[in-house]
Amino acid sequence: MPEVSHRSMTPFSKSRAKGVYISRPELELRYLNDYGPDYFAFFRIFVGWAPRICPRCQTHGIKILYLGLPNNLIDGKIWCKWYLWCDACRSGIYCPLGTYRIPIEEPHILWGDEKALADHLPKDLELIPVLWPKKNASR
């Protein structure tokens, strides 16, 4: 599968909370607290905040696979979910909650096509779980 540019991806967060813009460091801290340090290290690669170097084995073998719905087209972009992993150590993540859109021209497999998913994902992929925080009164 060819390398994919993430610059064309529509972000799922507008970095706003209740009409007030938050800084990138505040947003990063929120994601770190929401997802946990291991998951967040890979998520930073996806959003372009870190180089495409595996946080576990320090190699450059980062891969991404989009699962798209071409019939959910808005302004030339389709709904999608994604996997991001290191081809060397087979560690990676599945996208967190949220809505993601990619240009329809981006390489993807169809959402729900289990055979295509099995063909494209490494058999021994270790997905890092999201460590969801406990709900508290301050949020």
Q: Compute the distance between CA of residue 91 and CA of residue 96 in angstroms, rounded to an integer.
A: 16
Q: Compute the distance between CA of residue 76 and CA of residue 18 in angstroms, rounded to an integer.
A: 28
Question: Can you read off the two tokens belonging to residue 52?
Answer: 């495409």
Q: Compute the distance between CA of residue 114 and CA of residue 112 in angstroms, rounded to an integer.
A: 6
Per-residue confidence band for 128, with pLDDT thresholds at 50, 70 and 90 = very high
Taking the CA of residue 110 as centre, how many other CA atoms within 13 Å lie in the half-sphere pointing to its CB? 7
Q: Which residues contact 94 (CB under 8 A, 6 or more apart)?
A: 81, 82, 83, 127
**Spatial contact of 73 and 80, defined as CB atoms under 8 Å apart:** no
What is the percent of the chain with per-residue pLDDT over 90, rounded to a whole number? 67
Nearest to 79 by CA among 93, 64, 60, 98: 98
> Helices marked H in 62-121 — which ranges?
114-120
Q: Compute the distance between CA of residue 56 and CA of residue 77 in angstroms, rounded to an integer.
A: 32
pLDDT of residue 135: 57
Residue 139: how many other CB atoms lie within 10 Å: 7
pLDDT digits (tens, 9 = 90+) for 80-111: 999 999 999 999 999 988 779 999 999 999 99
Give the domain ranges of the chain: 23-127
pTM check: above 0.85: no
Question: Can you read off the two tokens belonging to residue 6?
Answer: 């993430």
